[in-house]
Amino acid sequence: MSDSAKISEKFNSGDADVSFRSSDNVIFRIHRRNLETHTGAFPPPEFDTQGEIVELRDETSETLELLFQFIYPQRHPHLDATPFEVLAPLAEAAEKYEVYAAMNICRVRMK
């Protein structure tokens, strides 16, 4: 993995308190509170991640870019035209990290 990581344009808040690195070396800066309220499997509050980057070696930036959109109070991404090659890893990550809103839409889209 290269030392020079790219920073996600969409998930780069200055007051974010958790950072994740995708398998293709993109950093996502996320608010812990959103993880706590919209997922069931990301780091619990007692797990201090300030200043550290959590490595998500199984997920690409494309997958995480979609997944993290489901943990913020905004319109969720439309997945109607999303190809199976993109939808399948998203569904797997949604199950793995218990991102409930993404789990539901992936289930519906993959029927």
Which tens digits make up the pLDDT trace of 65-108?
999 999 998 999 989 899 999 999 999 999 999 999 999 999 88
How would you class 83 by CB atoms within 10 Å of its CB: exposed for 0-12, middle for 13-18, buried for 19 or more? exposed
> Are the C-beta atoms of 28 and 64 separated by less than 8 Å?
yes
Angle between helix axes 100-109 and 84-97 (nearest 10 degrees) is 140
Which tens digits make up the pLDDT trace of 29-69?
999 899 988 888 776 555 666 668 889 999 999 999 999 99
User: What is the pTM for the complete model shown?
Assistant: 0.87
Q: What is the pLDDT of residue 1?
A: 47
Mean of pLDDT values over 15-23:
93
Taking every pair of C-alpha atoms in the chain, what is the biggest distance, in angstroms?
A: 41
Give which of 27, 29, 24, 25 is closest to 12, Cα–Cα. 29
Q: Could you tell me which CATH number the domain at 6-109 has?
A: 3.30.710.10
* d(C-alpha 7, C-alpha 5), whole Å: 6
Q: What is the pLDDT of residue 16?
A: 92
Q: What is the pLDDT of residue 56?
A: 92
Domain residue ranges in the chain: 6-109
